[in-house]
Amino acid sequence: MIRKIVLQALVMLAGTCFVISQSQASSFDSKAVESYINSLPEVEAFGEKMESQGKDEAWLNEVSPMEGENFDPHTRGISALKQHDPAEYAELGKIVGRHGFSNGESWAAIGDRVILAYGALKAESENPQLFEMVKQMETMDPSMLAMMPAEVRAQMEQAMVMARSFAKVPDADKQVVRPHMGRLDAVFMDR
């Protein structure tokens, strides 16, 4: 269940071109989370417009983390958008600006923290074994992983990146996001 939720969230985020670095985040509080959630309908419509124009296909793979990389889909998306389509990057900046963010990067920084805290809270409540699985996978013989088909191996590595990231979410971030879980569920479950 959590894997489905995480994959849905990742697809939604990647498909709508979100992304930024936690280090550039402005204050992470309930108001920032609310602003992020309130921005999602407009950002999603923006992403759907880009997708319908085929503008996301050239760089969509750049937002998917692989082994050894951070799970920061918003950050990756903003970076890729800025690099590949500066006009659309500027348009996204205007959209998130209407919700109180200074630019796409500040929006994405909050978004990454929200999605990580959301994923961690979902894992804790619905699949606490996920964190034990991470420990077991880290001790797996690399030759076993090498025997898997490339596609399965890539999916497993990506799931491990996300699970490790969820395990590292600070309790303070989870406490900020917890009151918003109902709204986030409604947003992410509709994808």
* Residue position matching structure tokens 């990580």: 116
The answer on pLDDT for 179 being more than 50 is: yes
Residue partners of 74: CB distance under 8 A and separation at least 6: 13, 18, 19, 20, 107, 108, 109, 111, 112, 115
pLDDT at res. 19: 34
Angle between helices 2-15 and 150-167 (to 10 degrees): 100
Domain count, the chain: 1
Burial 131-168 (b: 16+ CB within 10 A, else e): eeebeeeeeeeeeeeeeeeeeeeeeebbbbbbbbbbee
pLDDT one-digit tens code per residue, 20-30: 333 334 589 99
Mean pLDDT score, 68-83: 85
Mean pLDDT score, 178-190: 91
pLDDT at res. 126: 87
The pTM assigned to this predicted structure is 0.76
pLDDT one-digit tens code per residue, 135-171: 777 777 777 777 778 887 777 777 778 888 888 899 9
pLDDT at res. 105: 96
pLDDT one-digit tens code per residue, 32-61: 999 999 999 999 999 888 888 876 655 555
Query: Using CA atoms, how far apart are residues 7 and 162, in angstroms rounded to an integer?
Result: 10
Q: Which domain holds residue 46?
A: 2-189
Query: Using CA atoms, how far apart are residues 146 and 132, in angstroms rounded to an integer?
Result: 22
Cα 60 to Cα 5, 29, 36, 89, 179: the distances in Å are 19, 30, 22, 14, 31
More confident site: 130 or 189: 189
